[in-house]
């Protein structure tokens, strides 16, 4: 709807954020009992306009100044409420700014700095995880709702801030009018009804696309053309299983952290967790949805078009130590490329003939298979070696990243990982009490040679 480019929209985001700050400020004043700290906090904010307007600001917002001209300010420090006269108020006021109307240089500098940072943020390059640049039908749905909210919020913002600025200017302190108090409008029924009804109407309008969108997002897609993917959240990596993509033995395609999907296809993610609550979030493709142990939740992805670069995402529900390193990459492929990827992933890994990699395979079976599984072509046929408590390594060499899609899959980083995984990613391997509940990969104190053998094995398992 508001198709005028990202930068313009970011300016408005800043504006809305400013409105939020203003709202917080105003409500801290109008809760009725600001303590002196709040008064001091408000002071620099409107200090440029001196005592009179400050007082009228208090008047206008909460009618705190009684008809006898007393303001009641609760003073926490003394544990009692003390009356504050207009006189005291002015004295407090005058301590915080010079008599001049001009802004204090330091305040002006801070104001300019903050404003410039906000404006310049509009020039930032497009973020890989930006929800306002949707690349799929579900995310577009959310983006449209956001546009509507933004538009209404912008109108409200300019109306409210405009009224505020006009009031502050029109009713500012005038020379020689020290004893004149502004007219009190507290308790005006018509005004109070109006500002109750207007927000209710705005929220009612917003509820329509919101509820519609939520229902659409929650609908589980059905049909033969739907690609089914099981997503299992683990501390701190993602397991992806494709129940309908199986090899000749019926072994399901399993991978980790990097999700491959075909373009323009409805993909149904059936999600659960092996341990704590996680949340799957790839902003350009859809909103976030929690993965709850013992429950299944669904999320639909429909990507517009294949592209070389993956879509970025991450766990969006705090899940412990390495939550920040629990990321996702979604690769959207053409249907043909996806089929080729599927066929390659369903092939078993080979036992290497090269002696170095073969030595690595022996270590894999003796040590690593306690947690990791791989589908291997053995002399007895295709077998699944190992346990499924950690990422499946059958085609580890074909992954671009590892460790929760956080580290580039380079020889150097893989070597460091196998030597001492916790040196790359914070984990709790000491808390691995039962095999089903793994909180990180331990360091096995392997020799440099043994690590190099394992690297040769894993890089060969494309």
Q: Which residues bind ligand HEC (CB under 6 A)?
A: 236-237, 256-257, 322, 363, 367-368, 370-372, 390-391, 396, 399, 402-404, 417-418, 425, 432, 438, 440-442, 444, 454, 458
Q: Does 326 contact Cu ion by CB under 5 A?
A: yes
Stretch that binds Cu ion, among 56-64, 128-136, 182-190, 316-324 (CB under 5 A): 316-324
Partner whose binding site includes residue 319, from ligand HEC, Cu ion, none (CB under 5 to 8 Å by kind): Cu ion
**Strand, helix or coil for residue 382:** strand
When the beta carbons of 49 and 407 are compared against Cu ion, the nearer one is 407
Looking at the DSSP assignment, which residues form a beta bridge with residue 297? 271
When the beta carbons of 144 and 387 are compared against ligand HEC, the nearer one is 387
What's the rounded Cα separation, in Å, for the pair 207 and 201? 10
Partner whose binding site includes residue 440, from ligand HEC, Cu ion, none (CB under 5 to 8 Å by kind): ligand HEC
Q: What is the 3-state secondary structure (H, E, C) of 138-160?
A: HHHHHHHHHHHHHHHHHHHHHHH
Q: Does 369 contact Cu ion by CB under 5 A?
A: no
Closest CB 248 distance from ligand HEC, rounded Å: 25
198 CB-near residues (< 8 Å, 6+ apart): none
For tokens 């369903």, name the residue.
Answer: 346
Partner whose binding site includes residue 315, from ligand HEC, Cu ion, none (CB under 5 to 8 Å by kind): Cu ion
Q: Decide if 446 contacts 418 (C-beta within 8 A).
A: yes
Q: Does 315 contact Cu ion by CB under 5 A?
A: yes
260 CB-near residues (< 8 Å, 6+ apart): 330, 331, 333, 338, 341, 342
**Strand, helix or coil for residue 78:** coil
When the beta carbons of 141 and 375 are compared against ligand HEC, the nearer one is 375
When the beta carbons of 132 and 346 are compared against ligand HEC, the nearer one is 346
Please give the structure tokens belonging to residue 117: 């940072």
Partner whose binding site includes residue 404, from ligand HEC, Cu ion, none (CB under 5 to 8 Å by kind): ligand HEC
User: In the range 266-305, which residues lie near Cu ion by CB under 5 A?
Assistant: 278
Closest CB 394 distance from ligand HEC, rounded Å: 11
Stretch that binds Cu ion, among 44-52, 198-206, 324-332, 394-402 (CB under 5 A): 324-332
Q: Decide if 225 contacts 294 (C-beta within 8 A).
A: no
When the beta carbons of 48 and 320 are compared against Cu ion, the nearer one is 320
Closest CB 127 distance from Cu ion, rounded Å: 21
307 CB-near residues (< 8 Å, 6+ apart): 135, 332
Nearest Cα to Cα of residue 61 among 88, 86, 30, 37 = 30
Q: Decide if 174 contacts 52 (C-beta within 8 A).
A: yes
What's the rounded Cα separation, in Å, for the pair 205 and 372? 52
What's the rounded Cα separation, in Å, for the pair 46 and 104? 12
Partner whose binding site includes residue 395, from ligand HEC, Cu ion, none (CB under 5 to 8 Å by kind): none
When the beta carbons of 30 and 367 are compared against ligand HEC, the nearer one is 367
Q: Does 319 contact Cu ion by CB under 5 A?
A: yes
Partner whose binding site includes residue 419, from ligand HEC, Cu ion, none (CB under 5 to 8 Å by kind): none
Q: Which residues bind Cu ion (CB under 5 A)?
A: 278, 315, 319, 326
């Amino acid at each position: 709807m508001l198709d005028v480019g990202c930068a313009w929209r970011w300016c408005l985001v800043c504006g809305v954020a400013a409105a939020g700050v203003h709202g917080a400020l105003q409500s801290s004043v109008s809760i009725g009992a600001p303590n002196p700290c709040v008064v001091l906090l408000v002071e620099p904010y409107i200090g440029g306009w001196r005592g009179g307007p400050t007082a009228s600001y208090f008047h206008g917002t909460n009618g705190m100044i009684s008809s006898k001209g007393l303001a009641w300010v609760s003073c926490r420090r003394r544990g009692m409420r003390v009356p504050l006269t207009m006189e005291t108020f002015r004295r407090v006021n005058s301590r915080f700014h010079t008599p001049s109307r001009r802004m204090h240089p330091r305040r002006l500098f801070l104001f300019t700095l903050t404003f410039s940072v906000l404006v310049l943020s509009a020039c930032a390059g497009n973020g890989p995880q930006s929800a306002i640049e949707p690349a799929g039908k579900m995310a577009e749905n959310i983006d449209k709702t956001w546009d509507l909210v933004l538009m209404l919020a912008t109108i409200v913002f300019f109306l409210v801030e405009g009224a505020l600025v006009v009031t502050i200017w029109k009713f500012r302190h005038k020379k020689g009018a020290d004893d004149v108090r502004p007219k009190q409008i507290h308790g005006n029924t018509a005004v109070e009804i109006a500002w109750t009804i207007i927000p209710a109407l705005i929220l009612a309008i917003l509820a329509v696309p919101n509820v519609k969108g939520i229902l659409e997002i929650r609908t589980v897609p059905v049909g033969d053309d739907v690609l089914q993917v099981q997503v299992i959240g683990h501390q701190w990596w993602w397991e992806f299983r494709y129940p309908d993509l199986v090899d000749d033995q019926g072994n399901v395609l399993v991978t980790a952290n990097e999700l491959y999907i075909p373009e323009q296809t409805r993909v149904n993610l059936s999600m659960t967790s092996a341990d704590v609550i996680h949340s799957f979030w790839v902003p350009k493709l859809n909103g976030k949805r929690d993965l709850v142990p013992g429950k299944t939740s669904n999320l639909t992805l429909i990507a517009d078009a294949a592209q070389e670069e993956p879509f970025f995402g991450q766990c969006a529900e705090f899940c412990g130590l390495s939550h920040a390193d629990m990321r996702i990459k979604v690769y959207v492929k053409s249907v043909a490329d996806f089929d080729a990827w599927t066929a390659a992933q369903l092939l078993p890994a080979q036992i290497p003939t090269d002696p170095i990699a073969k030595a690595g395979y022996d270590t894999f079976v003796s040590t690593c298979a306690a947690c990791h599984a791989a589908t291997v072509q053995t002399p007895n046929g295709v077998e699944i070696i190992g346990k499924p408590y950690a990422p499946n390594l059958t085609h580890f060499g074909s992954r671009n990243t590892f460790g929760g899609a956080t580290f580039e899959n380079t020889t150097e980083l893989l070597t460091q990982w196998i030597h001492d995984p916790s040196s790359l990613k914070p984990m709790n391997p000491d808390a691995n009490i039962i095999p089903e509940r793994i909180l990180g990969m331990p360091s096995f104190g392997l020799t440099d040679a043994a690590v190099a053998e394992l690297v040769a094995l894993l890089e060969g398992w494309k």
